[in-house]
């Protein structure tokens, strides 16, 4: 069989699926992408400001503020799970990052002597190693996310608790911990490395907002992992048929824990980035963001029943939500309509997919 794809089989009864009935073109993501393009065209005629550089940059920045977390949640949803704790996680990681940064940048506090010293004038704080404070504080923020993800994953994959209940509990636990450590007060990233922090989170690189660049890099990485590694294949297999995956030797427990850890890390990173843009990490930051994030994932084609979804869908969902919000503002519609409209879009997107799969 030198040329196996020339195939020992002749297909007499089994036709080839038409190109629009298979792959990307048959996914909900493609329909929503089409709707998004249509929306762009409509917006172009509806408002002369929509296609200005400033507005597009704004849109890109705003959707990047939930899109990284949406990538993580999409991964969880593909395994037929759910993570409701992303909003709280965003806040907690942001808070830990800015608190750690403030702490180790204040001379005299325990541990700070490793990172900073006072200049000769006795007032100016100078970093021992420029950038080290930033790295340590961001790692601290991601570290707590890692731990929360491990607890989520352990409860769901090892103890067998339902993802909904576990992460609902975690939503409350993490938000509560946030209030405990901060006493309800917001915290600000400060100290000698704060400028780096702001540059990396809310700066502009090559005319694009920095968060947008992170998003693109992470989305490409996720696409490669999902479609070209065995981990990605296992994620889809667990979502499609968890029992079958276990029977065929897929390490189901390990993959599920990893998925929740990645989701928590994505939410943590997202929170840190958002706090850079806000300039602070208030204790009520990102409250109920989990709903926006899950809505974006579902609109983009992630199926809550598991087995379907991808990074492009996550981004398309986020862009659609943001363009609608932006469009309503430009069209001077009462912004309270936004929330109602988002709900309608969720249902319509899922409905279109339902009708399509009935017809196929």
Partner 1 sequence: MVTPHAAGQPVLELKGIGKEFGAIRALHGVDLCIFPGEVVGLMGDNGAGKSTLVKIIAGNFPPSHGEIRFDGQAVHFARPIDARAVGIEVVYQDLALADNLTAAANVFLGRELKRKFGPLAFLDHKAMAARALELFGELRSETRPHDLVKQMSGGQRQAVAIARTRLSNAKLVMMDEPTAAISVRQVEQVLGLIHRLKEQGVAVMLISHRMPDVFAVCDRVVVMRRGEKRADKEIGDTSPEEVTSLITGAKEAA
**Which parts of this chain interact with partner 1 (CB under 8 A)?**
1, 4-5, 7-14, 16-17, 22, 224, 227-230, 233, 236-237, 239-241, 243-245, 247-250, 307-308
d(CA 57, CA 75): 27
Residue with smaller CB distance to partner 1, 236 or 289: 236
Contact assessment for residue 345 and residue 39, using Cβ atoms and an 8 Å cutoff = no
CB of 310 to partner 1, least distance (A): 12
Q: Determine contact, residues 290/86, Cβ cutoff 8 Å.
A: yes
Least separation, in Å, of the C-beta of 266 and partner 1?
21
Q: Please state, in angstroms and rounded to a whole number, the distance separating the CA atoms of residues 31 and 264.
A: 29
Shorter beta-carbon distance to partner 1: residue 221 or 331:
221
Residue whose CB is less far from partner 1, 9 or 119: 9
CA distance 150 to 254: 11
Tokens 């700066």, located at residue: 203
Burial of 358 from C-beta contacts in 10 A (0-12 / 13-18 / 19+): exposed
Q: Least distance (Å) from partner 1 to the CB of residue 21?
A: 9
Find the shortest distance in angstroms from Cβ 184 to partner 1: 45
**Is the Cβ of residue 65 or residue 234 nearer to partner 1 in the bound state?**
234
Q: Hey, what are 104's tokens? A: 């180790």
Work out how close the CB of 4 gets to partner 1 at its nearest, in angstroms, rounded to a whole number. Answer: 4
Residue 284: HSE in the Cβ half-sphere, 13 Å Cα cutoff: 0
**Cβ closest to partner 1, residue 78 vs residue 278:** 78
């Amino acid at each position: 069989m030198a040329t196996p794809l020339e195939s020992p089989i002749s297909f007499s009864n089994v036709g080839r699926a038409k190109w629009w009935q298979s792959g990307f073109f048959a996914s909900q993501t493609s329909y929503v992408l089409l709707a998004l393009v249509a929306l762009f065209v409509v917006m172009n005629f509806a408002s002369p400001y929509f296609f200005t550089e400033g507005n597009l940059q704004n849109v890109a920045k705003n959707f990047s503020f939930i899109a990284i977390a949406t990538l993580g949640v999409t991964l969880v949803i593909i395994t037929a799970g759910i993570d409701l704790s992303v909003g709280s996680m965003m806040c907690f990681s942001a808070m830990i990052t800015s608190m750690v940064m403030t702490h180790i940048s204040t001379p005299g506090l325990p541990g700070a002597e490793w990172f900073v010293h006072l200049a000769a004038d006795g007032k100016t704080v100078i970093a021992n190693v420029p950038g080290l404070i930033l790295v340590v504080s961001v790692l601290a923020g991601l570290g707590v996310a890692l731990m929360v993800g491990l607890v989520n994953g352990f409860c769901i994959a090892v103890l067998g608790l339902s993802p909904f209940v576990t992460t609902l509990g975690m939503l409350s636990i993490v938000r509560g911990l946030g209030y405990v450590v901060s006493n309800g007060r917001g915290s600000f990233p400060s100290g000698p490395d704060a400028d780096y922090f702001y540059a990396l989170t809310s700066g502009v690189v090559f005319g694009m907002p920095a968060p947008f660049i992170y998003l693109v890099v992470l989305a490409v990485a996720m696409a490669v992992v999902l479609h070209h590694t065995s981990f990605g294949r296992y994620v889809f297999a667990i979502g499609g048929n968890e029992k079958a995956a276990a029977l065929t030797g897929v390490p189901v427990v390990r993959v599920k824990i990893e998925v929740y850890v990645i989701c928590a890390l994505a939410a943590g990173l997202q929170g840190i980035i958002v706090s850079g843009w806000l300039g602070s990490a208030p204790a009520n930051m990102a409250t109920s963001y989990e709903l926006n994030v899950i809505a974006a994932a579902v609109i983009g084609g992630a199926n809550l029943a598991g087995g379907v979804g991808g990074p492009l869908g996550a981004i398309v969902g986020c862009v659609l939500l943001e363009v609608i919000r932006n469009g309503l503002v430009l069209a001077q519609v009462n912004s309270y309509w936004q929330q109602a409209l988002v709900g309608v879009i969720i249902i319509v997107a899922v409905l279109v997919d339902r009708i399509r799969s009935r017809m196929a």
